[in-house]
């Protein structure tokens, strides 16, 4: 601050010296004395006005409503906890009453038995059978079986095609081997194609037998499906319910109770209990609404701390009306449940509900048998696709592991260098220490490269050394490497 003032003073002093110099040498004007200068007056920037009469009245302003003392905040939190505990307790009572009524209805089989008098409902079905039918419907029923059988047919055709391709490949190898033996005679030292292909023909025969057995089994499945298709189509909850007997009133009443009166009493009690349940839902909303409107902050701030408990006790009385309604609702439900229990006992005796359940169990026997047959066919149909897929994979893998010349070009074009060895009169004697060069397999199909290293390890052959002038010693290789069965 001092440095700034000093710099300003130096600047003013330098400007003053310059101005005096200019005035003395250029303008030649006399500078008046300070006391001779006019008095400086201030400029009026704002027009003054007296305040109005009501502008300073702050009685209607709430200047400190957002400021809550710490002791008042603690007291308000305590009151909020008390209200929450009260409402939670009452809501738990209401929820417990609803659950109790629901459990009682399930024990008494209400209103299923009352509905069974009017229409056939799924309540007539045994629980286990109803779950089984729902499972059958969820997977597609008879259409699911047809889809699996169609997939089995497609897989069988694919396997037949693979087997035919393997047979044609073996036949082609046999013809190529015969042509080579006829052309080269004793010089052809390779293993006969019939001997090398015997394991493959045995495997093909096993596959054919397995496919024949599976085909016969599938034909049996198709016959059973055709015979039971109508029954399988009716494996639905609705169709099974239609086969169940209806609950009917007794033909002769031996007791003093009138069946119609008993049924009417049950229905009336059920309606009253439902009305009480709806009323409990409204009570829950009333508790929540009253809590949202409950604002006692102003009263808490205006009350001394020692009187807060009395204030809270007084404020909680506003919930007494709703609590009384809850007590009344629960008492009415208890009395209705007791009356419903007695009426239901009479109803089950008059209408012989236990006998009706036994009749439903007997009627469900045929449906259970149909479900059992359906599951048996489903299990039978689910296994062949897996076996067929594995068979296709096995055929493909074995086809790739076969002897190299089974997938190469014709004999004379298969190994050009080996063919030249024949024309040069060399003897092609296999040698156990000589490996088949990779270049001799360059004409094989690309899909057999996965088994190439195995072939190089298994097949070894060599020819005697032939000395040529000015050239290195070269050894030939056999046309056909040794083949090993699977």
CB 232 within 8 A of CB 370: yes
**Distance, CA of 273 to CA of 270 (rounded, Å):** 5
**Distance, CA of 337 to CA of 101 (rounded, Å):** 8
pLDDT score, position 388: 53
CA distance to 264, 277, 324, per residue, from 331 (Å): 22, 13, 11
**Distance, CA of 338 to CA of 444 (rounded, Å):** 89
**Distance, CA of 461 to CA of 482 (rounded, Å):** 8
pLDDT score, position 44: 80
Delimit the domains of the chain by residue range.
2-30, 70-125+246-351, 414-486
CB 137 within 8 A of CB 237: yes
- Measuring CA to CA, which residue among 6, 268, 216 is closest to residue 111? 268
For the chain, 486 residues long, give each residue's pLDDT as a single digit of tens: 789 889 999 999 999 999 888 888 887 777 777 888 888 888 888 888 877 776 667 677 776 667 777 888 888 899 899 999 999 999 999 999 999 999 999 888 888 888 887 777 777 788 888 888 888 888 888 888 888 888 888 888 888 888 888 888 888 888 888 888 888 888 888 888 888 888 888 888 888 888 888 778 778 888 888 888 788 887 888 888 888 888 877 767 666 677 888 888 888 998 999 999 999 989 999 999 988 988 888 888 888 888 888 888 888 889 999 999 999 999 999 999 999 999 888 888 888 888 888 888 888 888 888 888 888 888 877 665 555 555 555 555 555 554 444 443 333 333 333 333 333 333 333 333 333 333 333 333 343 343 334 433 433 333 333 344 444 434 433 333 344 443
pLDDT score, position 384: 52
pLDDT score, position 453: 40
Number of Cβ within a 10 Å radius of residue 193: 24
Q: In 3-state terms, what secondary structure has residue 435?
A: strand
CB crowding 32-45: b at 16 or more within 10 Å, else e:
eeeeeeeeeeeeee
pLDDT score, position 146: 83
State in words which class domain 70-125+246-351 has.
Answer: mainly alpha
CB 300 within 8 A of CB 308: yes
pLDDT score, position 192: 84
Q: In 3-state terms, what secondary structure has residue 286?
A: helix
């Amino acid at each position: 601050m001092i440095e700034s003032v000093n710099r300003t003073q130096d600047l003013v002093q330098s400007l003053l010296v310059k101005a005096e110099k200019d005035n003395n040498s250029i303008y030649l004007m006399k500078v008046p004395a300070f006391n001779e200068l006019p008095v400086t007056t201030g400029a009026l920037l704002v027009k003054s006005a007296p305040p109005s009469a009501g502008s300073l009245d702050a009685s209607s302003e709430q200047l400190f409503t957002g400021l809550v003392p710490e002791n008042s905040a603690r007291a308000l939190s305590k009151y909020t906890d008390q209200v929450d505990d009260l409402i939670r307790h009452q809501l738990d009572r209401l929820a417990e009453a609803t659950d109790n009524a629901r459990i009682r209805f399930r024990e008494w089989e209400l209103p299923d038995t009352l509905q069974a008098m009017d229409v056939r409902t799924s309540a007539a079905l045994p629980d286990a059978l109803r779950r089984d039918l729902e499972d059958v419907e969820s997977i597609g029923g008879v259409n699911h079986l047809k889809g699996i059988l169609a997939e089995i047919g497609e897989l069988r055709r694919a396997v037949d095609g693979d087997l035919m391709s393997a047979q044609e490949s073996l036949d082609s190898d046999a013809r190529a081997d015969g042509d080579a033996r006829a052309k080269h005679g004793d010089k052809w030292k390779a293993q006969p194609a019939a001997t090398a292909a015997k394991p493959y023909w045995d495997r093909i025969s096993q596959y054919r037998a397995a496919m024949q057995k599976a085909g016969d089994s599938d034909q049996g499945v198709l016959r059973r499906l055709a015979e039971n298709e109508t029954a399988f189509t009716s494996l639905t909850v609705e169709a099974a319910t239609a086969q169940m007997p209806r609950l009917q009133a007794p033909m002769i009443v031996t007791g003093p109770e009138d069946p119609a009166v008993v049924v009417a009493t049950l229905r009336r009690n059920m309606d009253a209990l439902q009305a009480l349940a709806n009323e409990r839902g409204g009570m829950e909303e009333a508790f929540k609404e009253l809590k949202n409107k409950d604002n006692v902050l102003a009263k808490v701030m205006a009350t001394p701390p020692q009187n807060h408990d009395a204030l809270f006790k007084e404020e909680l009385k506003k919930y007494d009306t709703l609590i009384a309604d809850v007590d009344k609702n629960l008492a009415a439900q208890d009395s209705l449940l007791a009356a419903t229990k007695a009426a239901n006992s009479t109803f089950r005796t008059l209408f012989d509900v236990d006998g009706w359940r036994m009749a439903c169990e007997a009627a469900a026997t045929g449906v259970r048998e149909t479900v059992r047959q359906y599951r048996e066919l489903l299990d039978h149909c689910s296994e062949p696709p897996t076996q067929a897929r594995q068979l296709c994979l096995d055929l493909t893998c074995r086809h790739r592991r076969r002897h190299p010349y089974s997938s190469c070009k014709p004999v004379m074009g298969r190994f050009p260098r080996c063919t030249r060895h024949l024309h040069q009169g060399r003897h092609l004697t296999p040698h156990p220490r000589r490996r088949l060069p990779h270049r001799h397999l360059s004409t094989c199909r690309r899909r057999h490269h996965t088994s190439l290293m195995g072939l190089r390890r298994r097949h070894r052959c060599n020819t005697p050394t032939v000395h040529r002038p000015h050239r290195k010693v070269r050894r030939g290789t056999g046309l056909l490497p040794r083949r090993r069965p699977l």
